[in-house]
Structure 1
Amino acid sequence: MFNLVNKLTKAFGVSGSEGGIRDAIIEEIKDSVDEITTDVLGNLIALKKGKGNGKKIMLAAHMDEIGVMATYIDDKGFVRFSNIGGVSPSCSVGQRVVFQNGVRGSVFYEEKLQDLRSLKLSKMYIDIGAGTREDAQKMIAIGSVACFEGAAVMQNGMITSKALDDRSGCAVLVSTIRALPETDNELYFVFTVQEELGLRGARTAAYQIQPDLAVAVDVTLTGDTPGCNPMEVKCGSGPAIKIKDSSIICHPQVRSLLEDTAKKLNIPYQLEILDRGGNDSGAIHITAGGIPAGTLSIPCRYVHSPCETVSLSDMEQAVRILTCAVT
């Protein structure tokens, strides 16, 4: 599993520029599914046909990651930027980014800034080592996008990397595809685009597929770090089955399916209530007249930072639950 996560997190895939990660996933699943298509928005849809008259099930994980976009280059070659998705100013300071063409840069803030509490992305810049605007323009252009750098490492059963939101979910889906036995159900594995910008890809994919039920696989926040907001979810205590977030109250049919499967397999699981945020299930469940939808979550520390951290065992258990639930 770690080798797969390592490969997927290395791939470039900022929201709206998911070509690199899409190609990486295709390479991993092309021999294990019956059909692979890419829709107009860029969603990757992989179909495993059923052998009977079962249900049509959609399993979704978003393949895009947060990033930045170059908006202005000053006379000395420093690059101003805006966010793509939920980029935190405090988590960005001192980090390195890599543009889609391979150019690398370092993020820092204006020296005249007096108080870090007033830190804003508009007061920050990217240093790509250019001496003039002309030099910088030979390296990148206005509108060029970059992701944060943060290579995947594993220690004591914990994986730390950038883009585990949601390449960990993508890895769970890829592993589920590989593990699946024959089933009566028609399974659509959808690796969605532009989730970080408002659940966009999942909405169009769900409208196209119109499944009987859907499960999104994504990360969720945890309550197991010093001084954090109280929350039941912890890394290493099993996958979390979502009850609600700000975009969805999960359908009882889907929630029961996931809970009953975990109990059947004697797999520890947690129940998740998220006060803010959402994921692809929030768009899926209100599409095409309504679709029963829920979420299987991977507990993740430091979400939307270059050092997101998950438990390998939580991911492996999620694969077991998902594989059994859809067969």
Structure 2
Amino acid sequence: MKETLKKLVEAYGPPGNEINVRNIIISEIEDYIDDLKIDVLGNIIALKKGNPNGKKMMFAAHMDEIGLMVTHIDKDGFLRFAVMGGVKVHNLVGERVQFANGILGVIGVESLKSWKDIDVYKLFIDIGVKSREEAQKKVSVGNSCGVNRDFLALEDRIVAKSLDDRIGCLIQIQMLKQMKSIVPSHDVYFVFTVQEEVGLRGAKTAAYGVYPDIAIAIDVTIAGDTPEPPKVDLYLGKGPAIKIKDVSMITNQVVKDFMIDTSEKYKIPYQLEVLPYGGTDAGAIHLTKDGVPSGCISIPCRYVHSPSEMVDLHDVHYAIQLGLKLIESYK
């Protein structure tokens, strides 16, 4: 499982450029599904068939990561950029980035009177060239890049960029692998979405196409267990979180109770999540057509939207168990 996660988190995949991640996922799941299609936006919609007369259940995790896009190349070959998604600018200084063609660069900052003045317009990418003409042979305006960081295993905890939400993708992959010999009582769709970080875009089209009877997003959430943390009761290693609300949704009461009851029935540790900011694919899914009862399984994560996000593998294993039991229990 760690090897699969390493491939996922180290892959290049800013919003709109998820193809490398998509190819990894397809290679992992193609032997465990009954049908697969890629929709117009680039979502993977994988089907595990059950009773054709039964209901439709959908899980969703997003493939994209926060990223940057080149907006200007100056005469000396330095690249200015815009952010894609909730990039924390102070995390970028000194970071290495990678473009789709493999070109690497480092992020520098103009001289500042105070670090309070730091802003995306003060930053630039240095790809080691001496002129605009030389830079344009390697990178163009409109090219995207993402942080270049290696996977790191610290015993039961994983540190990597893009655990938001490659960890959700891994959970869905593992659920499919563990379902190999199981025929569910209903069709189960495993959707790997695009462009979540820039507005839940892939989830909108995928949910419209599938139009499930119930949907569960799988994503990360902030942890509240570091020095002077956000005031949330979420901790690494105490189980996945069942979402109560975030900015994008209030969890459907029936779905929330179903998830809690299932966790308690099978003695799966869980936490309750009330997120004061942010959202997940469930925020788009629950508004599809005339509404889809939706919920979310969240993995507590330290340092979200940084180059070194951290999760605990115990939470991941429990999330896989919970997802499988939800499939088994849904009627």
Task: Place the TM-score, normalised by the shorter chain, in its bin.
Answer: over 0.9
Residues 163 and 306, structure 1, Cα contact 8 Å, conserved in 2: yes
**2:184 maps to which residue?**
183
Structure 2 letter corresponding to 1:56: K
Partners in 2 of 1:252 and 1:53 — Cα distance?
26
Q: Give the drift of 1:79.
A: 0.7
Structure 2 letter corresponding to 1:273: V
Structure 2 letter corresponding to 1:34: D
Deviates more, 1:251-260 or 1:273-282: 251-260
Gaps of 5+ in 2: none
Residues 2 and 312, structure 1, Cα contact 8 Å, conserved in 2: no
Q: Give the drift of 1:156.
A: 2.4
1:278 paired to 2:279: yes
Residues 221 and 299, structure 1, Cα contact 8 Å, conserved in 2: yes
**2:9 maps to which residue?**
9
- Report matched runs for 1:84-123 at 5 Å: 84-111=84-111, 113-123=112-122
Q: Give the drift of 1:2.
A: 1.4
| TM-score (norm. length: structure 2) | 0.97
1:302 paired to 2:313: no
SS at match of 1:69: strand
**1:236 maps to which residue?**
237
1:160 paired to 2:164: no
**1:201 maps to which residue?**
202
Q: Give the drift of 1:208.
A: 0.9
Structure 2 letter corresponding to 1:159: I
Q: Give the drift of 1:257.
A: 1.8
**1:213 maps to which residue?**
214
**2:132 maps to which residue?**
133
Residues 96 and 148, structure 1, Cα contact 8 Å, conserved in 2: yes
Partners in 2 of 1:207 and 1:7 — Cα distance?
30
Partners in 1 of 2:316 and 2:85 — Cα distance?
24
**1:77 maps to which residue?**
77
SS at match of 1:197: coil
Q: Give the drift of 1:323.
A: 0.7
**1:62 maps to which residue?**
62
Partners in 2 of 1:173 and 1:110 — Cα distance?
42
SS at match of 2:46: strand
Residues 72 and 79, structure 1, Cα contact 8 Å, conserved in 2: yes
Residues 97 and 147, structure 1, Cα contact 8 Å, conserved in 2: yes
Deviations 1:187-210 (A, max 9, x none): 110000110001111011111111
Partners in 2 of 1:239 and 1:268 — Cα distance?
7
Partners in 1 of 2:58 and 2:115 — Cα distance?
44
Gaps of 5+ in 1: none
**1:50 maps to which residue?**
50
Q: Give the drift of 1:54.
A: 2.6
Partners in 1 of 2:57 and 2:12 — Cα distance?
28
RMSD (Å) for aligned C-alpha atoms: 0.9
Q: Give the drift of 1:230.
A: 1.4
1:192 paired to 2:212: no
SS at match of 1:326: helix
Partners in 2 of 1:270 and 1:4 — Cα distance?
26
Structure 1 letter corresponding to 2:235: K
Q: Give the drift of 1:52.
A: 5.5
SS at match of 2:314: helix
Partners in 2 of 1:33 and 1:221 — Cα distance?
32
Matched positions, count: 326
Q: Give the drift of 1:153.
A: 1.1
SS at match of 1:72: strand
Partners in 2 of 1:277 and 1:167 — Cα distance?
17
SS at match of 1:196: coil
**1:28 maps to which residue?**
28
Residues 218 and 296, structure 1, Cα contact 8 Å, conserved in 2: yes
SS at match of 2:164: helix
Partners in 2 of 1:52 and 1:201 — Cα distance?
26
Residues 53 and 184, structure 1, Cα contact 8 Å, conserved in 2: no
| TM-score (norm. length: structure 1) | 0.98
Partners in 2 of 1:185 and 1:212 — Cα distance?
10
